[in-house]
Amino acid sequence: MSIDIAQSTRTLFEDLEWRGLISQTTDRQALMSDLSEKPRSFYIGFDPTAPSLHVGNLVVLLVMRRFQLAGHIPLPLVGGATGLVGDPSGRNEERSMNDSAVVAEWVGRIRTQLEKFLTFSGPNAATMTNNLDWTAPMSAIEFLRDIGKHFSVNQMLAKDSVSSRLESGGISYTEFSYQVLQGMDFLELYRRHDCILQLGGSDQWGNIIAGLDLIRKVDQGSAHAFTIPLMAKSDGSKFGKTASGAIWLDPEMTSPYAFYQFWVNAEDADVVNFLKVFSFKERSKIERLALTVESNPGAREAQRELARELTTLVHGADACEKVEAASKALFGQGELSELDEATLAAALSQLPKTTINRSEEFPTWVDLLTATGVVASKSAARRIVSENGAYLNNTKISGEHFAPTQADLIHGRFLVLRKGKRDLASVEVV
């Protein structure tokens, strides 16, 4: 089925505007005109500074997906070269240098993650790129003569990412040169794939503009820049960070259950903005969910819809079904014993926890709950039992002297303690 590229581009920009996903662009009318003529190639770069992308990367990655759905051609770039150097943006100190073999491994892992979000077949198929392909064969002399001579040191020093580092103690020549490498990436993709647009976070504006200038000076060509606002939370805390660390897209680094819970636990003040930025639901659906946040916040319908959509997108429908089943079972709405061991272990890892030795006699429920730290004292735990609010594996405990046995263990190693309706803790037998 053919696509009306002009209409789809107009619809795309209207949608991006409503979702708050446009920070800065070069000449908006010229950009819209070029994108409306025919499907255009565009790119976003992702540096392998860790073994996985994280939820912050999802902001720009999903904008890339929206451009492809509108008919344009993505060129996701994994920075095998720039990942060896380090981007100074948003940092007050030098990045630690990773071994080239480590960076190469991370490039492979990130490429695999990117492939989940884009289509690599069809008329506007995505093409994976790696800037090491054109950087590695180039000598230092060639780089300085052919690329470096087009960069003004005065302009480079004026970039926010550089000037802030100079004020905070200095910057190495290595990271100072990052903007030259990124500019060369844009030039190479312009030459190889007729790429006329670079997308990036708003902190990348200076580096993207450097690439536009290089295309103009070297090939007398023209291209465009488009930046996306950096994600922020309403309370001022950093998006994508929790007490346990960053929320990664790799299931080995952040379990699907923890990923799901991150979105379910979004604050009411944030969830509507999160839906606009991350969800592919149409505007009317998001506006309806926004009303539920006001009228019935306790139901957390908006958070659950968001968690379900993103967990399915990142980890697949099967993983989403498992974590939803685990979430329900922990609160008595399903059978804990029916959860597979890996999913249950991931869910319990998020809870207050204590361990007991398999060879020893099991403590009482009161002792176990106190050991997890959910209550401050044994007397508080006994009071919970007397008020009929004590549960083991979703079964109510009737007496303060009750102690579990080996037969109560789920998968031969876990016990789930619950205080009232919401407060959970876990016990692992070792």
Q: How much is the average pLDDT of 127-142?
A: 95
Q: How many CA atoms lie within 13 A of 182 on its CB side?
A: 30
Check residue 160 and give its pLDDT. 75
Check residue 237 and give its pLDDT. 80
Long-range contacts formed by 4-8: CB under 8 A, 24+ apart? 5/35, 5/36, 5/37, 5/38, 5/39, 5/70, 5/71, 6/36, 6/37, 8/70, 8/71
Q: How much is the average pLDDT of 263-267?
A: 94
- Report residue 91's pLDDT band, with 50, 70 and 90 as the boundaries: low
Check residue 151 and give its pLDDT. 85
Q: How much is the average pLDDT of 95-103?
A: 84
Worst-scoring range by mean pLDDT, 6-10, 88-92, 289-293? 88-92
Strand partners, 25: 226
pLDDT at 90 over 60: no
Worst-scoring range by mean pLDDT, 109-113, 134-138, 229-233? 229-233
Q: How much is the average pLDDT of 302-311?
A: 97
- Report residue 145's pLDDT band, with 50, 70 and 90 as the boundaries: very high
- Report residue 294's pLDDT band, with 50, 70 and 90 as the boundaries: very high
Check residue 10 and give its pLDDT. 96
pLDDT digits (tens, 9 = 90+) for 382-415: 999 999 999 999 999 888 899 999 999 999 999 9
- Report residue 126's pLDDT band, with 50, 70 and 90 as the boundaries: very high
pLDDT at 76 over 90: yes
360 or 207: which leads in pLDDT: 207
State which fold the 5-228 domain adopts: Rossmann fold (3.40.50)
Check residue 89 and give its pLDDT. 64
- Residues in the chain, how many? 430
Average pLDDT, the chain: 91
State which fold the 351-430 domain adopts: 3.10.290
Q: How much is the average pLDDT of 153-169?
A: 79
pLDDT at 93 over 70: no
Domain ranges of the chain: 5-228, 232-334, 351-430
Check residue 1 and give its pLDDT. 52
Q: Which of the given ranges, 93-102, 154-163, 186-195, has the highest pLDDT on average?
A: 186-195
Q: Which residue has the tokens 């399915």?
A: 312
Check residue 422 and give its pLDDT. 82
Which residues are within 8 A (CB) of 387 and not within 5 positions of it... i.e. 6 or more apart? Answer: none
Check residue 277 and give its pLDDT. 97
pLDDT at 43 over 90: yes
Six-digit token string for 112: 């695999």
* Amino acid letter, residue 390: A
Mode of pairing for the β-strands spanning 195-201 and 41-46: parallel
Check residue 2 and give its pLDDT. 67
Residue 352 CA to residue 366 CA, distance in Å, equals 15
CB 347 within 8 A of CB 327: yes
State which fold the 232-334 domain adopts: Tyrosyl-Transfer RNA Synthetase (1.10.240)
pLDDT digits (tens, 9 = 90+) for 322-359: 999 998 888 888 888 889 899 999 889 888 999 998 87
Question: Above pLDDT 70, what percent of the chain?
Answer: 98
pLDDT digits (tens, 9 = 90+) for 231-251: 988 888 878 877 678 899 999
pLDDT digits (tens, 9 = 90+) for 192-237: 999 999 999 998 998 899 999 999 999 999 999 999 999 988 888 8
